[in-house]
Amino acid sequence: MVKRSKHIGIVGVTAEGASLCYRTIVAESDKILGPNQHPEISLNNPNFADILKLQNNGDWNGLAKLLSGSIKKLAANGAQIAVIPANSVHYAFEKIKRLSSIRVLSIVDLAVTECRKKDYKKTAVLGVGLTMSGGLYEKPLKLVGVKIILPSSSDQKRLNRVIYGELVRGKPTPKSFKFIKDLIKKLKKAGAEAVILACTELGIVIPENLSTLPVIDTTRLLARKALALILAET
């Protein structure tokens, strides 16, 4: 009997987020399996402009159809688990999950589980405007007794501009780096015990050793969980 290859599928949304997810899987595999060893990894990335249009219009059915189409292609290529290293598209997660034939991991569920594991009671959330203001994290965190702390309205707007104008293009500026670091300091003063980097690109700009708060890096968390699950497959 031929042993099935272990295979992770990545649905790319932004190039930076997909790249960080891929690099994390490979780096963590190197630690666990040894040099140059990692599962097979496939990437399918729909047109980002199409994703943004559906997301900005609140067309979650259309977005679920688009992203589940990517998962279908990954599954046809042999992927056993799929990940979507992007937070805001997870408003459509349950629809995507229903339309998919292979297991799809939720970046939100993993972050919430991490908060519970660390016994945080107040957690800051940073991401694009839609992620911060639409309840993507607030609702599931509230269910497990965690209160979220958000930046001011003006800081949310500025962060949204920085993410779309710089980070998703891989062009962060020193000024924006300082803004995000200072923002985390503000959130700590407001009572946050940790910060959820609910934007895949934030983990590239703000590694944990440069944050004044413990960091829950949703992209790396997702990549590590996918790796752990695929390695447990028999």
Average pLDDT over residues 53-72: 97
Which pair of tokens denotes residue 5?
């290859």
**Mean per-residue pLDDT of the chain:** 94
Mean pLDDT of 114-134: 95
Angle at 200 between CA 196 and CA 205, to 5 degrees: 85
User: What is the 3-class SS of the chain, one letter each residue?
Assistant: CCCCCCEEEEECCCHHHHHHHHHHHHHHHHHHHCCCCCCEEEEECCCHHHHHHHHHCCCHHHHHHHHHHHHHHHHHCCCCEEECCCCHHHHHHHHHHHHCCCEECCHHHHHHHHHHHHCCCEEEEECCHHHHHCCCCHHHHHHCCCEEECCCHHHHHHHHHHHHHCHHHCCCCHHHHHHHHHHHHHHHHCCCCEEEECCCCHHHHCCHHHCCCCEEEHHHHHHHHHHHHHHHCC
Q: In this predicted structure, what is the pLDDT of residue 22? A: 97
Whether the pLDDT of residue 234 is over 70: the answer is no
Judged against a pLDDT cut of 70, whether residue 69 lies above it is answered with yes
pLDDT band for 197, please (50, 70, 90 cuts). very high
Domains observed in the chain: 7-107+220-232 (3.40.50.1860), 108-218 (3.40.50.1860)
Q: With cut-offs at 50, 70 and 90, classify the pLDDT of residue 4.
A: low
Question: pLDDT band at residue 2, thresholds of 50, 70 and 90?
Answer: very low
40 - beta bridge partners?
A: 7
The pLDDT assigned to 16 comes to 94
